[in-house]
Amino acid sequence: MSEPFVFAVPAEVELLPAPIPAHWIVEGAPQARAKRLAMSADGTSSVMAWSCTPGRFTWHYAVDETLHIISGEVLVTDENGHSRRLGPGDMVFFSAGSVSNWHVTEEVRKLAFCRHSMPRLFGLALRAWNKLAAILGGPAEDANPLEVEPAANSEPKRAPAV
């Protein structure tokens, strides 16, 4: 069972070796380290602290990952050849099944929020169930104050290319 609250200092937590698969490495000898900080009760979501020394490698995303750079610098190139420099304070989302090339120029440390995605139909059913439960069940204080309905025509904004 997951804990109801988990407190951590991701910039300072001690990480353990988490080798990058050798066939993913393109250049250098990048050394990755990681530690899982929290996991949801159903096991579908986790929070990881991760770091890597300089080098180049291709990363294959098995799960949805939202990351926040704590320190260091990396140039990430997507499947279309668009590159972005990521440094402290930057955030990026990688969907499950995507691939990106990482060029770590300065040891990088990130906080990663990982989530196993579910088939779209199941997600739709879950949202409908939650909406029905809210209508039938409870006062407004049970609603998620962080949930925002996106505008019908809104598209996510992309960071400028480097």
Token pair of 149, please? 């309905």
Q: Look at residue 108 in the predicted model and tell me its pLDDT.
A: 98
C-alpha neighbours within 13 Å on the C-beta side of residue 34: 14
- What mean pLDDT comes out for the span 2-8? 80
Q: Which residues contact 23 (CB under 8 A, 6 or more apart)?
A: none
Report if residue 1 sits inside a domain: no
Report if residue 48 sits inside a domain: yes
One-letter identity of residue 88: P
Q: Look at residue 159 in the predicted model and tell me its pLDDT.
A: 53
Q: Which domain range does residue 81 map to?
A: 16-115
CATH of the domain at 73: 2.60.120.10
- What mean pLDDT comes out for the span 91-114? 97
Least confident piece of the model among 17-21, 63-67, 121-125, 152-156: 152-156
Please tell me the total count of domains within the chain. Answer: 1
Report if residue 154 sits inside a domain: no
Looking at per-residue pLDDT, the higher value among 30 and 146 belongs to 30
Angstrom distance (rounded) from CA 63 to CA 140: 32
Least confident piece of the model among 86-100, 109-123, 126-140, 143-157: 143-157
In the chain, beta strands by DSSP E: 16-17, 25-27, 32-39, 45-52, 55-60, 64-77, 83-86, 91-94, 99-115
Give per-residue pLDDT as tens, 112-126: 999 987 777 777 787
Q: Look at residue 62 in the predicted model and tell me its pLDDT.
A: 93
Whole-prediction pTM value? 0.75
